[in-house]
A and B are shown apart, each in its own frame.
Chain A
């Protein structure tokens, strides 16, 4: 039926070209802004999630209670406690972590990837189990080599990013990659500090570290070394070499995490969810700004729908006689309703497709411009946008919906035109 209405739809759209173009344009603007902002929001959200605050949602970081439970002896992370943690339902694996509890500094004098470098830096070190970082390991087997050999160390991916984008350019130091860093050896003096006075009775433990990889799981402001090395260094510095600084629980599934957190708290331990909170806050900020812009775009679409309603009711009024003739030659009410609605549907489809294409174009343009004109900074992405298929489809559907919604009342008016009134001579 509506197949044969096609020529009439084409006819009326081509006769009223100017209003058809303005209706389509309004829709295209609304759809374009929605697709653009949602695409940007998704893109920025992904950058925050994957690069700025990479959080593995199946990991739970357990730390000791702030106050010790004295006689009960609870609240510390010793081996029996770790065993109990690992036995909790939903735990796949528990990874022990121990900070090197003595201060440490690195003093570098010499050639640094082709540049002379002279630098002294206070650093932190944490020992982790080899399995915890093994997927990012590039060199060796991440075991404690003993007192006289360089300790394998993993650097943070984020730290490397900050070094490359902010630190290095300002000091004309070379750009580095994980590949280049692997094998790099630098001195580290444990039990020594620039900022606090170290106990004069304890002598510094000169040592060396060798970078063997970069990882999201490595600590940000320091080096991540084998757990056994941390134990050894703590013992050598007369520090606690028994209890752990933290235990990372890998849940069998991210959905297990809430129960796991509750169980951990019931054991008198704390969960360090700072990173997770930070990621959640940043994610929420992105989501909120995206949705407010999306809302604005929906308002533009609403406006476009009103524009269509206006244009179509004018067009239906102007075509009253013609619609009356159509009734006389056999058009049913529903046929006229469909006729007007199909016209709108076509404009909506066109507006939706054009709007989505405009949004994509603007996004690619901005990406290119950002690469060329925005200076490097940490976590600067190659693309700021995410372009999932559902968003493209959604843009087109939104255009169609806005147009059809706008044309609904005019279409009903057309279907109710009394032919007798407009035809009588």
Chain B
């Protein structure tokens, strides 16, 4: 499902010159896998996830996700890839304030290259998968942290992606709520969804089928 070869990523680090964050990372994830990537803070986990999801384009190496070759892909095609093939879940949810959970969930439809039919029905189905059918009309401000993350997951699921990319999805949640979200990931994975999650939490690591460690720019 994911085939990454020899990925390098450097940042301009002001006066000090260039900071090499990824140094020839290669990664292969099969369909239906649940991979956890761990590493200490600043090791480049988010950077790697952004490369795999087509958000970051300033890398060297080759990345193919669900048959789409990402390196060198123009912005429009890359955007379509993000819209249709992957779903992102972030540590701090990043929901739009002032609009309902439902409206948040169908955000991807606003940028779809093909017209989406039955917007509400599909958004409700996505909310149903994360167990929040009854909260569709609420604004993010009226939801708990765990519920907000579930809405964010529903948004990632809206376009029926092939891969879910999660960056510290439980980092802002208390233990009990985090357990619930991890259970949800397990359930989604069981239904066939490929998941790559960046974390330094044991509970997520425990749920994964494979754990990789990123250190000094190298994955092992």
Note whether A and B form a binding pair. Answer: yes
Interface residues of A in 323-378 (CB under 8 A from B): 324-335
- Contact with A330, one of B84, B99, B168 (Cβ below 8 angstroms): B84
**Contacting pair A424 B108 (CB below 8 A):** no
**Contacting pair A8 B110 (CB below 8 A):** yes
- Number of contact residues on A: which range applies? 20 to 34
Q: Considering the chains assembled together, what is the distance between the CA atoms of A424 and B91 in angstroms?
A: 8
**Contacting pair B94 A325 (CB below 8 A):** yes
**Contacting pair B94 A324 (CB below 8 A):** yes
**Contacting pair B94 A330 (CB below 8 A):** no
| Residues of chain A with a CB closer than 8 A to B75's CB | 332-334
A114 CB within 8 Å of chain B = no
Of chain B, the residue at the smallest CB distance from A1 is B113
Q: Considering the chains assembled together, what is the distance between the CA atoms of A424 and B167 in angstroms?
A: 8
| Residues of chain B with a CB closer than 8 A to A331's CB | 79, 110-111
| Residues of chain B with a CB closer than 8 A to A328's CB | 53, 55, 82, 88, 90, 94
Q: Considering the chains assembled together, what is the distance between the CA atoms of A420 and B54 in angstroms?
A: 10
**Contacting pair B76 A425 (CB below 8 A):** no
**Contacting pair A425 B88 (CB below 8 A):** no
- Contact with B82, one of A7, A321, A330 (Cβ below 8 angstroms): A330
**Contacting pair B108 A330 (CB below 8 A):** yes
Interface residues of A in 284-333 (CB under 8 A from B): 321-322, 324-333
Instruction: Using known A-B contacts A325-B96, A424-B167, determine if residue A330 contacts B53 with beta carbons closer than 8 Å.
Output: no
B5 CB within 8 Å of chain A = no
**Contacting pair B110 A423 (CB below 8 A):** no
| Residues of chain B with a CB closer than 8 A to A324's CB | 94
A139 CB within 8 Å of chain B = no
| Residues of chain B with a CB closer than 8 A to A423's CB | 50, 55, 88, 90, 94, 167
**Contacting pair B76 A332 (CB below 8 A):** yes
CB distance from A43 to the nearest CB of B (A): 47
Q: Considering the chains assembled together, what is the distance between the CA atoms of A325 and B93 in angstroms?
A: 10
| Residues of chain A with a CB closer than 8 A to B131's CB | none
Q: Considering the chains assembled together, what is the distance between the CA atoms of A329 and B111 in angstroms?
A: 8
**Contacting pair B99 A11 (CB below 8 A):** yes
A168 CB within 8 Å of chain B = no
| Residues of chain B with a CB closer than 8 A to A15's CB | 98
**Contacting pair A4 B94 (CB below 8 A):** no
| Residues of chain A with a CB closer than 8 A to B99's CB | 11
Interface residues of B in 96-120 (CB under 8 A from A): 96, 98-99, 103, 107-113, 115-116
Instruction: Using known A-B contacts A4-B109, A5-B110, determine if residue A329 contacts B46 with beta carbons closer than 8 Å.
Output: no
**Contacting pair B167 A329 (CB below 8 A):** no
A392-425: contact bitstring with B at CB < 8 Å (1 yes, 0 no)? Answer: 0000000000000000000000000001100111
Q: Which 10 A-B pairs have the closest CB atoms?
A: A330-B83, A425-B91, A332-B79, A329-B108, A330-B111, A331-B111, A424-B46, A325-B94, A328-B88, A330-B82
25 interchain pairs (CB within 8 A)?
Answer: A11-B98, A11-B99, A321-B94, A325-B94, A328-B53, A328-B55, A329-B111, A329-B155, A330-B79, A332-B75, A332-B78, A333-B79, A334-B75, A334-B76, A419-B50, A420-B46, A420-B55, A423-B50, A423-B55, A424-B46, A424-B50, A425-B90, A425-B92, A425-B168, A425-B171
Known pairs A7-B103, A328-B90, A332-B111; list 11 more (Cβ under 8 Å): A1-B113, A8-B110, A11-B103, A325-B107, A327-B55, A330-B79, A330-B80, A330-B82, A331-B110, A420-B47, A420-B50
